[in-house]
Structure 1
Amino acid sequence: MELDDAYANAAHIAGAADYPPLWAERAKAYRDRLAGAGRAKLAVPYGDRPREVFDLFLPKAAHKGVCVFVHGGYWLRFDNSYWSHLAAGPLAHGWAVAMPSYDLCPDVQIADITRQIARAISEATRQIAGPLALAGHSAGGHLVARMGVPGVLPSQVAQRVQSIVPISPVADLRPMLKTSMNVQFGLDMAAAKAESPVLMTPMDVPVTVWVGGEERPVFLDQAQWLAKAWGCGHVVAEGKHHFDVIDALADPDSAMVAALIG
């Protein structure tokens, strides 16, 4: 369809097929290491469905708060097992990190996933006291941006949100109607508008939209659209593409981690 190539990330990244197995390998090694040290609670349920679980990683000392990272994959692919190593940055600063899985399209609608993430975050805040920081990548960037809209999170949870960092987000879902992926999304214009953060007024919370400078033009546009609509921070990470822009989360000294947890 008209926008299939525009939103095709892997087709424009050298060695794209190597990334998912590398993510999975790094994540498993990190997860196993923290589990062996008694610093991981795996498959914590936040609902009744098999994918309604999150992994919770704990810092060495008393936690300062909880960071939730929501993975991407166009609401169609992956689960939380690919990303455990990205917890390293916030953990080094004393923050617990929760990484949820969620159901995928076409088994559910994108609006259902939004509600799942709200439940996952609510459960994470029941497990860990203190402030809440939200980060998400690609479709996960969309989902954490949705959490920044009043009424999506329960009020007692929303009050704890300290920051939101949507990374390479799909913030306007209307272009998805012009992709073949919409066969699985099942969006019409009304549903696309109802799930588009660019059309919504955010809570009064610090937001920093992050995107790689080498990403597809539509992702640069999506990031700019959200930053303009919300009047929030906007960082273009030079030299980074859609698959490696998230590496900064694993670096305790990165600007991305600083934006997330201060």
Structure 2
Amino acid sequence: MITDWTDAYANTPHIPDGAAFPARWAAEAAAFRARSDVVARLDLACGAAARLRADLFLPEGPSRGLVIFVHGGFWMQFGKDWWSHLAAGPLARGWAVAIPQYVLAPAARIGAITGQIAAALHRLAEEVAGPILLAGHSAGGQLVTRMVCRDVALPDRLRARIRHVLSISGLHDLRPLLRTDLNATLRLDPAEARAESPALAEPVPGTRLTTWVGTVERPEFIRQSALLANIWTGLGAETRVVEAPGRHHFDVVAPLADPDSPLCRALLSG
């Protein structure tokens, strides 16, 4: 039985040298953007607020389609500049990659952030033709899976382009967060926690979902990954659950940068 829900969702204290990861991500991302062979369109506007921007990385030659990666940070940390290097894997296989950011809590509630990502998806789809693959890490996993929920309004022509959703260590039932210290910033109430939980929503017809989580993550993240796939299977979605051996919450997403990694191949298989 869980008695300390804040600890159940805490990652940094349970990962060796966990506090060093954000600086490492930022350095790797900056180095990637500085490479002479990287073709990028930076800071594309995706809304009126200053933070509603995205970076778009383009492959050599015609693109096979668009990958959109949505970052995590419990909806209250980070932005697009921490994750640029993760575009390397899909780019090497001919896909364009967009990395949007959103207004962070407490300035925005999670319901509003869902709307911001939907608007970014609409905007970025205008830049690249072809199929769209969605990937998100942690809170980003919640946001990308929300994009294929029936109650999120997207134009039919845009929704038809979404071929696959990859939720990496995603948060799919937000109700446990009501019991954590995180909620002092998130300001979730029971109604919003239910409304923004993909596990409590119905996927649109034709949804293909992969949930991916590390075997040495906090048990709640492993449970949350299995939970969504289990429920959505019963609602007609094609689902797959993968537990990556030896990966924790901060390194489980790293293989996206490797075009030959199982994670990158799983995403692009959509």
Distance 2:146 2:255 in 1: 22
Distance 1:53 1:155 in 2: 24
8 Å Cα contact 2:38/2:57 also seen in 1: no
Shift of 1:254: 1.4
Post-superposition Cα deviations, 1:192-248, rounded to whole Å, max 9, x if no partner, equal: 000000011112221100000000001011111111111210000010000000011
Distance 1:183 1:194 in 2: 19
SS in 2 for 1:259: helix
Distance 1:182 1:110 in 2: 11
After superposition, residues 106-117 of structure 1 pair within 5 angstroms as: 106-117=106-117
Shift of 1:38: 6.3
8 Å Cα contact 2:148/2:203 also seen in 1: yes
Shift of 1:150: 2.3
2:30 corresponds in structure 1 to: 28
Distance 1:6 1:67 in 2: 31
Q: Does 1:7 align with 2:9?
A: yes
1:101 corresponds in structure 2 to: 101
Post-superposition Cα deviations, 1:133-164, rounded to whole Å, max 9, x if no partner, equal: 00000000000010111242332211100100
The amino acid across from 2:220 in the alignment is V
The amino acid across from 2:74 in the alignment is Y
2:90 corresponds in structure 1 to: 90
SS in 2 for 1:127: coil
2:212 corresponds in structure 1 to: 210
After superposition, residues 167-186 of structure 1 pair within 5 angstroms as: 167-186=168-187
Distance 1:28 1:151 in 2: 37
The amino acid across from 1:8 in the alignment is A
Structure 1's consecutive aligned runs of 4 or more residues displaced over 4 angstroms after TM superposition are none
2:142 corresponds in structure 1 to: 142
SS in 1 for 2:247: coil
1:42 corresponds in structure 2 to: 42
Post-superposition Cα deviations, 1:40-71, rounded to whole Å, max 9, x if no partner, equal: 00000011101100000000111010000000
Distance 2:104 2:63 in 1: 31
SS in 1 for 2:44: strand
Distance 2:63 2:22 in 1: 30
Distance 1:229 1:40 in 2: 38
SS in 1 for 2:248: coil
Distance 1:2 1:235 in 2: 27
Shift of 1:188: 1.1
After superposition, residues 102-251 of structure 1 pair within 5 angstroms as: 102-152=102-152, 153-203=154-204, 204-231=206-233, 232-251=239-258
SS in 2 for 1:111: helix
Post-superposition Cα deviations, 1:5-38, rounded to whole Å, max 9, x if no partner, equal: 10000010000111111100110010121xx446
8 Å Cα contact 2:150/2:201 also seen in 1: no
SS in 2 for 1:165: strand
Q: Percent identity?
A: 48
SS in 2 for 1:114: helix
1:63 corresponds in structure 2 to: 63
Distance 2:4 2:23 in 1: 30
SS in 1 for 2:119: helix
1:260 corresponds in structure 2 to: 267
> Which piece of structure 1 moves more, 175-184 or 145-154?
145-154
TM (normalized to structure 2)?
0.94
SS in 2 for 1:49: coil
SS in 2 for 1:102: coil
Distance 1:186 1:25 in 2: 31
Distance 1:135 1:43 in 2: 19
Task: Report the aligned-residue RMSD.
Answer: 1.1
8 Å Cα contact 2:68/2:99 also seen in 1: yes
SS in 1 for 2:103: coil
The amino acid across from 2:173 in the alignment is D
Shift of 1:2: 3.5
Distance 2:13 2:76 in 1: 17
The amino acid across from 2:223 in the alignment is D
